Structure 1
């Protein structure tokens, strides 16, 4: 997919000043181990990810707050929406609609294959 992100990547030295409030699960694309690269100036994470653009398949998907079928539901993403993939855990993908979220987990099959994007 040749689409470009609509946000800028951080430049220079990234640092944080003072305490921050942790966002609610399913909102910003931020976990303890990973964060969307566009959040680097606002949140500390062990690693920052430059996401891969993908497209939701032919059916709406409901994001899960954890990578399990019985996990709490998060936001619903309409079919055909462009999303950003941040991580893969087996058959689960951690995705977001952009650096301001929402974020959550979906099965790999919920997105169109790379060649169809």
Structure 2
């Protein structure tokens, strides 16, 4: 049984499997996914990334279980971007009427996303933004 994955446990001393397994382990990884140096540090206030979700533009650069394509919502006058959902969140910015808030996740009465394409990341109450209009 040579040429297959090495066993996790070794029950006997007689079986020797190869260290190279081309079926499940690549010989080397080249290109953009190779770990070739230190990570680039980004300002987390402007990085649409959580432990469970990230903006689709971060695919291949950040590893999370899910990636989302943003849905552009329009802010109502006085909409507040906050650091956490609920009344305890720090106000990060006030959005202008009609300003785009790119929604990446909706949970309860709150949307998580990014102000415009490169702006601050945070939460906005769903009551303070309008869903995009669908064509008829």
The counterpart of 1:74, out of the listed 77, 80, 92, is: 92
Distance 1:33 1:19, change over 3 A: farther
Q: Is the 8 A contact 1:38 1:99 kept in 2?
A: no
Structure with the larger RCO, 1 or 2 (CA within 8 Å, 6+ apart): 1
1:83 matched to 2:83: no
Question: RMSD across aligned C-alpha pairs, in angstroms?
Answer: 2.5
- Name stretches of at least 5 consecutive residues in structure 1 with no aligned partner: 1-12
Deviation for aligned residue 1:97: 2.5
Aligned residues: 102
- Name stretches of at least 5 consecutive residues in structure 2 with no aligned partner: 1-30
Deviation for aligned residue 1:93: 0.4
Residue in 1 that maps onto 2:72: 53
Q: TM-score, normalised by structure 2?
A: 0.63
Q: TM-score, normalised by structure 1?
A: 0.71
Structure with higher Rg: it is 2
1:39 matched to 2:43: no
Residues 52-109 of structure 1 show CA distances to partners (whole Å, capped at 9, x for unaligned) of: 121112x132211111211112133211112211001100001212453311101101
Aligned counterparts of 1:84 and 1:55: Cα–Cα separation in 2 = 9
The farther-off stretch of 94-103 and 60-69 is: 94-103
Aligned counterparts of 2:34 and 2:53: Cα–Cα separation in 1 = 16
1:112 matched to 2:130: yes
Distance 1:69 1:37, change over 3 A: same
